[in-house]
Amino acid sequence: MTNKVTSLWDSYVISLRIAADKKGKLTQSFLGYILSFIFQGLAYAMFYPLLRSMFKESFILNEILFWLSSVFILSIISMICKWYALDFSYANDLADVAHNLRLKLGEKIKKMPLQQLNQYRTGELNSILSQNVDESVLHMGVVAGMAFEALVIPLVIILTTFFVDIKMAFAIIIVLPFSYPIYIWSRKLTKKEKEDNLTAHSDLEADTVEYLQGLPVLRSINQVGENSAQLQESITNVREVQKRGVFGSLIPLAVMNTLIEFIFLTILSFGTFWILQGSFSLAALISLLIIVNRINEPLVNFLGIASVLDTMELGFKKIEGLLNIKSLKVDQPKAMPENFGISFKNVDFNYLNNEKKALKEVTFAIPSEAMTAIVGPSGSGKTTITKLIMRYDDPSIGEIEIGGINIKNMSQDELMSLISVVFQDVYLFDDTILNNIRMGNPKASDEEAKEAARKANCHEFVSRLPRGYNTKAGEIGGSLSGGERQRISIARAILKDSPIVILDEPTSALDTQSEVAVQKALDELIQNRTVIVIAHRLSTISHAENILVVAKGEVIESGTHDELLKKEGKYFSMYGAQQRLKLWNLNRE
C-alpha cells in the first residue's frame, strides 16, 4: 500500500477512465461547475464595491443599484452553469456509468479463465460489483461540485482581493502555506483509513458468504460456534477500523477549522488596526469578513470530500484489477469439429498458486464415440485433465484438440455445447426440479425434460416429492440423497445431448444401492458418445475401450484392461490392491 497522496489531477484522470464513453459529458459537467463557481466568486467580490458605495458620504442610488444588480446577474449566471453541471447526475448519466461498469465486469467474469476467477472469494466479487462500482461513481456528481466550490471560490476571492487591497490579499494568502500541509496530512490519514475500511468490509463480506455457505455442514457436525470465530473477528475488525477512521478524520477537520478561525481573527485585527491608522475602509473590512465567512464551510468540507476521492480510487483499483485479467482468446478462424476424439499434445499445466506442475508433457489421443477411463492416485491430475478440456485455463505449453480442431478456435459457448459433465457434487439451483433438469437445454419442452428424467431413473423419486416436478429444490434441498441429486445431473446431461460426456467420479461417494441406480442412468447417457470417466473403483471401468493411467501429472500407461494387466505395471498393482481389499472385505462378512 502506498502512502502517497493522489493528486487532484490524477483523480480527474481516473474519473475519466471510470466514465468511459461518458467522459465527454463528465468533462462538460466539471467545466460547468468551475464556471459556476467562478461567477459565484465574482458575485461575492462585488460586495466590495457594493458596500463601498453604500458607505460613501454622498449616497448615489444608481451606483448602489448597479453593483446590486451585478451581484444578481452574476449569481444567476452561476446558477445556470450549476444546473448545467448537475445534469450529469444519478438520475441519468451516473446510473448509466455504474451500469456500464457492471456490464463490463459481468462480461469479464464470463470470459476470464475460471482459474483466475477462482482466485477471488465469492464475497469479494460481490463487493466489487456492488459496493466498489457505486463508490467509484459516487464522487462524480454532487461531491465533485462541492470540491470545485471549495477550490474555485477561495481562489477567485483571493485574486479579486488583490484589486481591493494588496495588504489584505497577502493576509489571506498567508494561510495557504499552512493549509496545504494540513490537507496532505489529512489525506494520508484518510487514505489509510479508507484502505483499511475497504479491506475490512470486503473481508467481512467474503467471510459472511463463506460462513453461510458452510452453515448446513457446520450444523450437521455441530461446529456452528467454533467456525464462526473468523466471521466474528472480521465483524470486530470492521468496528475497530470504523472507530479509528472517525477519530483519524476528525483531527485534521478540527485543525482546519481552527486555521480558518485564525484567518478570520487575523483579518479582523489587521483590519481594525489599519482602519484606526486610516489606511483601510470600514466597507472593505466588513465585505471581507462577510466573504471569508462564506468560504469557511467549503474549505472545511474539502477535507471530507478529498477522502471520498480515496474511496473512489481504491474502489476503482479493485475494479481495474478484475478488468485487467486477460480473457480467454478465441483464435481465428473459428471452426467446429466433425468428430469428437480428444487429443492432448505435450500439455504442461500449472495452477496459479501452486509451484508444482499439475500436468507434465501429457500426450494422448482418445477415440471418438468410445469410453476412455482415466485412473490414478488421488492428486495425480485426473480432474485437471478434464478441466483443461473445458478450457478452465490455457495450458502453459502444448495444445488440446477436439476432432482435430484446437479448442482455442472455438468460442467458450461452442466448446461447452459439446460437453456435458457429471461431477461428484451436484449443484441444484433454487428453482423447480423440472427447471433444474432443463438447465441442460433451456429450449427443451416440459415433455422432453420429463423424458430425460425418466431415462435418468429420476421419475420414480420425483413423483414422490410434494409437488412432483414443480417442487423447488430449495424446499427439499437436504432431503434428496446423493444418488438422487446425481441422477438429476445425469438427466440434465441426457437433455443436453452433447457428443462428449465427462464423468468425474460420479459414483464414488454413493452407497451400493444408489450406485446401481446411478449406473443404470449413466448407461443411458453414455451411448454413442465420447465418454471420459474418472473412476476410483477400477472394476467399474474394466470394460472401457481405453484406459489412461496417470501418476504425478504424467500419463504413464495406456491400453485396455487386459493389455494393462499383462504389462504388470502401475495398473496391475493398483488393480491387484483393490482385488485384495475386496477379498478381505468378503472374508470379514
Q: Which of 161, 287, 380, 498 binds ligand ADP (CB under 6 A)?
A: 380
DSSP for 420-486, please give it: EEE-SS----SSBHHHHHHTT-TT--HHHHHHHHHHTT-HHHHHTSTTGGGSBHHHHGGGS-HHHHH
578, exposed or middle or buried, with CB in 10 Å at 0-12, 13-18, 19+?
middle
Q: Which range in 87-95, 286-294, 381-389, 570-578 contacts ligand ADP by CB under 6 A?
A: 381-389
* Ranges within 488-517 binding ligand ADP (CB under 6 A): none
The residue among 543, 517, 520 whose CA lies nearest residue 373 is: 543
Q: Give me the amino acid identity at 138.
A: L
Q: How far apart are the first and last CA of the chain?
A: 64
Q: Which ranges in 324-426 belong to alpha helices (H)?
A: 382-389, 412-417
Contact 119, 66 (CB under 8 A): no
Angstrom distances, CA of residue 510 to CA of 424, 484, 582: 9, 10, 17
Task: Record the cell numbers describing residue 78, joined without a space.
Answer: 452561476
Q: Which range in 252-260, 345-353, 378-386, 574-582 contacts Mg ion by CB under 5 A?
A: 378-386
Q: Cα–Cα distance between 484 and 476 in angstroms, integer?
A: 12
- Residue with smaller CB distance to Mg ion, 305 or 502: 502
Q: Which of 127, 383, 486, 546 binds Mg ion (CB under 5 A)?
A: 383
Q: Which range in 187-195, 316-324, 378-386, 391-399 contacts ligand ADP by CB under 6 A?
A: 378-386
- Residue with smaller CB distance to ligand ADP, 188 or 536: 536
Write the binding mask 39 to 78 for ligand ADP: x where contact by CB under 6 A, - elsewhere.
Answer: ----------------------------------------
Is beta strand 554-559 parallel, antiparallel or unpaired with respect to 342-350? unpaired
The residue among 324, 364, 358, 328 whose CA lies nearest residue 344 is: 364
Shortest separation between residue 550's beta carbon and Mg ion, angstroms: 10
379 touches, from ligand ADP, Mg ion, none (C-beta below 5 to 8 Å by class): ligand ADP
Q: Which range in 114-122, 269-277, 328-336, 376-384 contacts Mg ion by CB under 5 A?
A: 376-384
Q: What are phi and psi of 366, to 5 degrees?
A: -115, 140
| Cross-strand pairs, 393 | none
Is residue 507 within the footprint of Mg ion (CB under 5 A)?
no
Shortest separation between residue 31's beta carbon and ligand ADP, angstroms: 50
Is residue 378 within the footprint of ligand ADP (CB under 6 A)?
yes
- Residue with smaller CB distance to Mg ion, 295 or 389: 389
Cα torsion 425, 430, 431, 432: sign: positive
Q: Which range in 7-15, 21-29, 119-127, 379-387 contacts ligand ADP by CB under 6 A?
A: 379-387
- Residue with smaller CB distance to Mg ion, 334 or 356: 356
Shortest separation between residue 386's beta carbon and Mg ion, angstroms: 8
Shortest separation between residue 392's beta carbon and Mg ion, angstroms: 13
- Residue with smaller CB distance to Mg ion, 281 or 383: 383
Q: What are phi and psi of 462, to 5 degrees?
A: -65, -40
Q: Which range in 241-249, 377-385, 467-475, 509-517 contacts ligand ADP by CB under 6 A?
A: 377-385
Q: Which of 150, 156, 358, 388 binds ligand ADP (CB under 6 A)?
A: 358
| Cross-strand pairs, 402 | 342, 405
Contact 557, 567 (CB under 8 A): yes
Only one residue has cell 478561525, namely: 261
DSSP for 47-58, please give it: HHHHHHHHH-SS
- Residue with smaller CB distance to ligand ADP, 83 or 427: 427
Is residue 36 within the footprint of Mg ion (CB under 5 A)?
no
Q: Which range in 22-30, 150-158, 375-383, 571-579 contacts Mg ion by CB under 5 A?
A: 375-383
Measured in whole angstroms, the distance separating CA 274 from the mean position of its chain's CA atoms is 61
Q: Which range in 195-203, 373-381, 449-457, 491-499 contacts ligand ADP by CB under 6 A?
A: 373-381
Shortest separation between residue 507's beta carbon and ligand ADP, angstroms: 15
Q: Cα–Cα distance between 114 and 392 in angstroms, integer?
A: 5
Q: Give me the amino acid identity at 423.
A: F
- Residue with smaller CB distance to Mg ion, 288 or 544: 544
Write the binding mask 532 to 571 for ligand ADP: x where contact by CB under 6 A, - elsewhere.
Answer: ----------------------------------------
- Residue with smaller CB distance to ligand ADP, 115 or 202: 115
> Nearest residue by C-beta to Mg ion?
383
- Residue with smaller CB distance to ligand ADP, 168 or 426: 426
* Rg, Å, the chain Cα set: 36
Q: Summarize as ranges the residues that interact with ligand ADP (CB under 6 A).
A: 351, 353-354, 358, 376, 378-384
